[in-house]
A and B are shown apart, each in its own frame.
Chain A
Amino acid sequence: MKGRARYVVAVSALVAGLTGGAALANAQSHSAAPLAGDQGQQIYQKWCWPCHGPSGPGGSRKAGTEALRNSYKGKLPAVLDERTDLTPSLVRTTVRNGTYFMAPFRKTEISDGDLDTLIAYLTRRRSSP
């Protein structure tokens, strides 16, 4: 496992270097890979990435990513943490209420404190207040 953890960090650094701070989480090799990065990234990786990360090259489609791709048809990024338009209220409402086939997340899963940290991560690149 130590080897795999090193892989994640190394590729993450590469991605960050190429994109000027793009999401570390996108470097995860799979949904159950070790969590890496700061707390907000780790919460995202644990709870969001399995559905909202990039769909895999092996045909492993992420449900949230593909649903948003079909919805936005290229007007917005399909991968959630590449978005620059997410607002705190949208993230909070979606996490606690769910939408379509996305079930809501309970406080025993994502506590209020963790949700605040997740919101800070997902809105870090927001283009306007």
Chain B
Amino acid sequence: MPPLPPGVTAQQFSNALREFGSAVGPEWVLSTDEDIRTYRDAFSPFWEEAEEPIPSAAVGPNTVEQVQQVVRIANKYRIPLWAVSTGRNLGYGGAAPLNSGTIVLDLKRMNRVLEVSEENAYALVEPGVSFFDLYRDIQERGLKLMLDLPQPGWGSVMGHALDRGVGQGPYEDRFGAHCGMEVVLPSGEVMRTGMGAVPGAKSWQHNPYGFGPFVDGMFAQSNFGVVTKMGFHLLPEPEALRLVTVTAPRRDDVVPFVNTVGYLKNAGICPASFGIRSPRNDTGYWSASLKFYGPLKVIDAQWEHAQEKFSAIAGVRFQEDALYRFPLSPDAIDGIPNKNVLGIPDLAAFGQGFVRDGRPHGYGHYFFAPIIPMTGEAMLEAQDVFEQAFKQLELPGRGPVGFTGWQRRSLISLISLPVEHDTGKAQKNREAFRGLMRIAGEHGWGVYRAPVVFMPDAMEVYSYNNHALRRFHETVKDALDPNGILAPGKCGIWPRRLREAREARA
């Protein structure tokens, strides 16, 4: 028997489900035990433990009008909703809510690609559109556009951006690549942002700002509304892509090495996200994987310029890993191991991550991902701090070996912890995860996103001036959502009526 929403009687819950059914069709109110199982987080750090969040039901609207009705019914019964788009954010929460008893607002059925413009290189999509869906749509129309992707292609284009996920190409800032939103507010009212606020707008996906305050950021990593449409700028299909690796031999090379990478990125010479790794041995202490997208003559010149800049480091080495010319033939696509950098979605990351050394299975993982400055000094500090943290927290290994360059002046240090179905091991990993967040916070680092069950912990680190930022968030929350029905506690933002629960957790 699924848990009821807190403070809601069985009769009220039953009445609410009936009204939800009237709004979306009874077959899209999902409340059997079999249904509920599909809304658990398959990668839950609390798997099968008492604290694992279990929803009470799910509701699957197909239109924005149905979303409005669901939100109004939730207000009537003060039942919390947790919106998911494709529900495939594995490692960061999947389709499960933060609190047991919440109803999942499953937006997967809203899966329409509403518009794609080749001329201005943009798309307007609904929440249930995955990267696979948008890619196929663009290919079927024969448009010369490229997607900028995360590794798993089944994720939502919108949901990934709203969680401020990372792409792999020049449009790596997925939220930053959006242009215009439609939002159902907690009252049930529909709002359009940017130019979309002009009735009959002709430039909704052309200019993000419109007139007045820019509010779009309030709907990413938040619980202030349900986003039902989003525009995205797309990359015109380039003529070519060159993948290269640059290696520097000594630990002390890190400062000029990272400075050079940062210069290339900030000068627009190599704007795509990149990886920096350190095997910490003499085979080449630092290596950077860089990507150059554009006309062949241009990327040839960019690569030549990059080599000139790196050559100030004694012993630096250059390797050309691949050169792709677009459009690619199906034969060529088939033979490429990492299709994501070409804008082609797949799920190959799961094959690389979980099936190793002849072992058949694993249960998944979740991510600790603090942001550090894009400087050599910061990388050395992070390596040292996390190496000590790994020892202190009894984690295997020496800490992060790789960093991802994201945004123009920051790096993400990505550390994954395995999902365990043994309670003792799972608890140890959760304690380690919280320990990593605490230690990072003590050094001035916060995470860029967090698994749902750790969101309140992540926000605890952002505590400058007695949590002035969170108090601001909650002032907004109380004004927009007085009944506290949208995703209570998401990103540490609790509505007034549930803030005592946070104090109790603390």
Let me know if A106 and B95 touch, CB within 8 A. yes
Let me know if B28 and A7 touch, CB within 8 A. no
Q: Does A83 make an interface contact (CB < 8 A)?
A: no
Answer whether A108 and B139 are a contact pair too, CB < 8 Å, given A57-B335, A97-B37, A103-B42: no
Q: Does B348 make an interface contact (CB < 8 A)?
A: yes
Contact of A109 among B35, B108, B334 (CB under 8 A): B108
Which 5 pairs of residues, A with B, have the shortest CB-CB distance?
A61-B351, A63-B350, A103-B42, A59-B337, A31-B346
Q: Does A125 make an interface contact (CB < 8 A)?
A: no
Let me know if B153 and A50 touch, CB within 8 A. yes
Residues of A near B331 (CB, < 8 A) are: 29
Closest A-chain residue to B149, C-beta based? A32
Cα–Cα distance between A96 and B359 once the two chains are bound (Å): 24
Q: Does B11 make an interface contact (CB < 8 A)?
A: no
Q: Distance (Å) between the CB of A74 and the closest chain B CB?
A: 13
4 additional A-B pairs beyond A29-B331, A106-B35, A108-B109, beta carbons within 8 Å, are A2-B142, A30-B330, A71-B360, A101-B350
Q: Give the number of chain B interface residues (Cβ < 8 Å).
A: 60
Interface bits A86-124 vs B (CB < 8 Å: 1, else 0): 000000000011101111111111000000000000000
Q: Does A1 make an interface contact (CB < 8 A)?
A: yes
Cα–Cα distance between A128 and B40 once the two chains are bound (Å): 35
Cα–Cα distance between A104 and B94 once the two chains are bound (Å): 10
Cα–Cα distance between A87 and B39 once the two chains are bound (Å): 24
Cα–Cα distance between A109 and B109 once the two chains are bound (Å): 8
Q: Does A82 make an interface contact (CB < 8 A)?
A: no
Q: Count CB-based A-B contacts (< 8 Å).
A: 151
Let me know if B361 and A71 touch, CB within 8 A. yes
Let me know if B106 and A108 touch, CB within 8 A. yes
Q: Does B389 make an interface contact (CB < 8 A)?
A: no
Residues of A near B28 (CB, < 8 A) are: 108
Contact of A67 among B37, B42, B140, B360 (CB under 8 A): B360
Instruction: State the B residues within 8 Å of A (CB).
Output: 28, 30, 34-35, 37-40, 42-43, 58, 60, 86-88, 90, 94-95, 106, 108-109, 128, 131-132, 135-136, 139-142, 153-154, 330-331, 333-339, 344-348, 350-355, 358-364, 419
Closest A-chain residue to B347, C-beta based? A50
Instruction: State the A residues within 8 Å of B (CB).
Output: 1-2, 4, 7-8, 29-35, 46, 50-51, 55-63, 65-68, 70-71, 96-98, 100-109
Let me know if A60 and B42 touch, CB within 8 A. no
Residues of B near A65 (CB, < 8 A) are: 351
Let me know if B360 and A32 touch, CB within 8 A. no
Answer whether A46 and B132 are a contact pair too, CB < 8 Å, given A1-B142, A31-B346, A106-B38: yes
Cα–Cα distance between A106 and B43 once the two chains are bound (Å): 15
Q: Distance (Å) between the CB of B339 and the closest chain A CB?
A: 6
Residues of B near A51 (CB, < 8 A) are: 347, 350-351
Q: Distance (Å) between the CB of B84 and the closest chain A CB?
A: 9
Closest A-chain residue to B41, C-beta based? A103
Residues of B near A63 (CB, < 8 A) are: 347-348, 350-351, 353-355
Cα–Cα distance between A60 and B355 once the two chains are bound (Å): 12
Closest B-chain residue to A30, C-beta based? B333
Q: Distance (Å) between the CB of B418 and the closest chain A CB?
A: 10
Let me know if A100 and B153 touch, CB within 8 A. no
Residues of A near B43 (CB, < 8 A) are: 101, 103
Contact of A33 among B141, B330, B355 (CB under 8 A): B330
Cα–Cα distance between A97 and B361 once the two chains are bound (Å): 16
Residues of B near A56 (CB, < 8 A) are: 334-335, 337
Let me know if A32 and B334 touch, CB within 8 A. no
Q: Distance (Å) between the CB of A101 and the closest chain B CB?
A: 5
